[in-house]
Amino acid sequence: MEKRKLGNSGLEVSALGLGCMGLSFGYGPATETKDAIALIRSAFENGVTFFDTAECYGPFTNEELLGEALAPFRDQVVIATKFGFQDGDSKKGLDSNPARIRAVAEASLKRLKTDCIDLFYQHRVDPNVPIEEVAGTVKELITEGKVKYFGLSEAGPETLRKAHATQPVAALQSEYSMFFREPEKEIIPTLEELGIGFVPFSPLGKGFLTGAINTSTQFDPTDFRNIVPRFSEENRKANQALVELLKIIATEKERTPAQIALAWLLAQKPWIAPIPGTTKLHRLQENIDGANVFLSANELHKIEIALAAIKISGERYPVQLQARVGK
């Protein structure tokens, strides 16, 4: 798989990473440990070198899983993890106090079985702690050799600029896909200006762009999508137009809708590295093959015209979670 550099940081990753959250958290019951390890190692064997986790996925179990799975080839991969929630629990409030950041770093290092975190993200912007203080704390951890690169997740342009002035930000992780194009307005231009890489999560629209979800789909009671307005039965029906478009393009290219969605993202900027997640080996291979799909300028132009005619229904977060998206 091709490698990409995240902005001007020099951090090199595989064009597609693996978002590991769903193996432990968020989308129903956790995957059996042996199956999850097999999937992570299969990703590596197929060229993926960029793995994303966080202390709150589980909590804690996802980092432990990655630590075990990646141990045999730790020096050949980039591991990203995150801090920012009270006690590492995303159901509690935000906490990016310097002492907490340091505590998370030490605990994550142990769980990940490593002596250095490659990319350390603030998971959500904490309005109670100045971003300069957060960036300064990570800067100290970088000086101490415990962290290599600093990242932000779901931060806005204002926060990005302030953080970047204190400690260069290697990457911003936020949602971006054909299903959610808001970053094109302000985020992507800001990243381009500052030389910061972009790591889109949910590049397949939380599974919607695969074509496997329809109005009759029943999610597990613990599945996060049950509370997402965009996944209400009514909105799933309204948003099928996007899936139908993807199916038409995929048929023409002899590919799958998911592969077209990933290829489209990769074509947007050379410093974008999406992190699709999955619990299934066949989906993992499908996603990885999506990195080999080329869309010509003409094809991209046609897709753009078609997308412009489609209105997406429903918000991507319920109100209480949207409040955590930074400025």
Known catalytic residues are 57
Q: Which of 21, 105, 7, 96 is nearest to 56 (CA)?
A: 21
User: Residue 233 class from Cβ within 10 Å (0-12 exposed, 13-18 middle, 19+ buried)?
Assistant: exposed
- Two structure tokens written together for 159: 């926060």
Q: Which of 94, 198, 109, 180 is nearest to 148 (CA)?
A: 109
- Two structure tokens written together for 79: 């591991």
Q: CB-based contacts of 108: which residues, under 8 Å, 6+ apart?
A: 55, 63, 81, 83, 117
Q: At residue 181, what are phi and psi to the nearest 5 degrees?
A: -110, 10
Q: What type of residue sits at position 65?
A: L
Q: How far apart are CA 66 and CA 72, in angstroms?
A: 11
Q: What type of residue sits at position 199?
A: V
Instruction: Please give the order of strands across the beta sheet that includes 18-19.
Output: 18-19, 50-52, 78-83, 117-122, 147-153, 169-175, 197-201
Q: What type of residue sits at position 282?
A: H
Q: What is the DSSP string of 224-292?
A: GGGG-GGGSHHHHHHTHHHHHHHHHHHHHHTS-HHHHHHHHHHHH-TTB------S-HHHHHHHHHHTT
